[in-house]
Amino acid sequence: MVLRQPGQPLEGRELPEPDVAEDQLLLDVTACGICRTDLHVLDGELQQPALPLVLGHQIVGRVVEKGARVCEFELGQRVGVPWLGWACGVCSYCTQGRENLCGAARFTGYQLQGGYAERAVAHAAFCLPLPETYTDEEVAPLLCAGLIGYRALSLAGDARRLGLYGIGSSAHIVAQVAVHQGRSVYAFTRPGDVPSQTFARSLGACWAGGSDERPDEELDAAIVFAPVGALVPAALRALARGGRVVCAGIHMSDIPSFPYELLWGERSVASVANLTRRDGREFLDIAPKAGVRTEITLFPLREANAALAALRNGQFQGSGVLVCR
């Protein structure tokens, strides 16, 4: 499924078999998660897509061909391809283990062709082995929703009372990890969204309500998943002194001005940028041990436009996944 221009529907196209460079894998794609980042690319809010573009950066597939220099995977092995598709390896960020900040990095389904397809190529060094406890469809959301959520959770520190703003694909995974770690999870949804609040409680949240509400307890940290800038001052109002708001999205509407009083008391605001391969390995080891389950709604590949519309309109809980075979 190909994006020709932002703002236009994806088009089904027969494309030539992709060439495989010496450091790449050719994959038979079996499943690919859909993500709000895909909507940001589709809508032109991320402005450097490699058009025409195959979207999708939560790719699950099996290796059918290896480049001459690839040693780490076997033919037939199941692997995952995440958002970070390549980094230079030599800049100061890369050499300090912060490849997520590499200025030359390239991202799957944005500057590299993605997984809304039957076949895909990926740089082998940035692919991840996958835990066998999940089906292809179940594991796909872990490759971005899970990984970005895990990085956001890490930036939240050891917060015992954790707020999650926006109970979508990422938050529904992070909530389970946080509960497994013994944290108390407070879930914030659109005002009046009772189904999402009920869903959050089923994941172990001790409190669920609208983003216009505040629980009785102050929060030690909050993660904002929804791309709504107005939630940042709302989250600050709910924080205890010394708390942190972590913005987990790649794009967000403008944050409105707010009084310094909300930030004072050593409160802070941070953002998450992409992920590292270390994040991927750590999280994919933790997820099955924490008993993480993904709530998934499946769509055939040919219905990618309908799947993205369903995501945009909040028509399912948890994660949407394209079945590509």
β-pairing verdict for 296-300 and 2-3: unpaired
- Residue 214: per-residue pLDDT: 93
According to DSSP, residue 35 is labeled -
Given a cut of 90, whether residue 160 has pLDDT beyond it is yes
Query: What is the amino acid identity at position 134?
Result: Y
Q: Where are the beta strands (DSSP E) in 43-169?
A: 53-54, 59-66, 78-81, 84-86, 106-107, 119-123, 128-129, 161-165
Per-residue pLDDT tens digits for 294-324: 999 999 999 999 999 999 999 999 999 999 9
- Residue 186: per-residue pLDDT: 98
Give me the mean pLDDT over the 176-181 stretch. 97
Percentage of the chain exceeding pLDDT 70: 100
Residue extent(s) of CATH 3.90.180.10 domains in the chain: 2-143+277-323
- Residue 17: per-residue pLDDT: 86
Residue extent(s) of CATH 3.40.50.720 domains in the chain: 147-271
- Distance between CA atoms of 247 and 166, rounded to whole angstroms? 11
Global pTM value: 0.94
Given a cut of 90, whether residue 64 has pLDDT beyond it is yes
Mean pLDDT score of the chain: 96
Is 2-143+277-323 in CATH node 3.30.450.20?
no
Confidence of residue 116 (pLDDT cuts 50, 70, 90): very high
CATH number of 147-271: 3.40.50.720
Confidence of residue 194 (pLDDT cuts 50, 70, 90): very high
According to DSSP, residue 82 is labeled -
